[in-house]
Amino acid sequence: MSIYFWPVSNLIPIWLGILIGEAERIKQCKGRVFALQDEPEVPRVWLPFDDAPGLAMARAFGDFCLKEYGVISIPEFSHRLLTDRDQFIVLASDGVKYFNIILFR
């Protein structure tokens, strides 16, 4: 059995929480962005008048209670021209973090 490793080329930055520009948009819409003490690495979106719901993303389908406070459903996307060196493409979304693809033969 052979193991092959291919380099991964991300088209957008790996998601690491709420981005600075998104936090600013939420604050301008009177929403709040802060992390809980027991999860300091996870910024969350909160209503201006209540410590709820604590959404850990700034873009979401649904979550209607936060729409007027800056949470949007417009996806971020980018593109790249494929070349002869590209052997395959993996499309991934939500919850997929940095990974390497391993194929077994």
- What value, to the nearest 5°, has the Cα angle with vertex 10 and ends 80 and 12? 80
Q: Which of 43-52, 55-64, 72-81 has the lowest mean pLDDT?
A: 72-81
3-state secondary structure of 25: helix
The residue ranking higher by pLDDT, 56 or 98, is: 56
Predicted model pTM = 0.67
Q: pLDDT-based confidence at 26, cuts 50/70/90?
A: very high
Q: Residue 96 and residue 15: Cα distance in Å, rounded?
A: 9
Residue 82: predicted pLDDT = 83
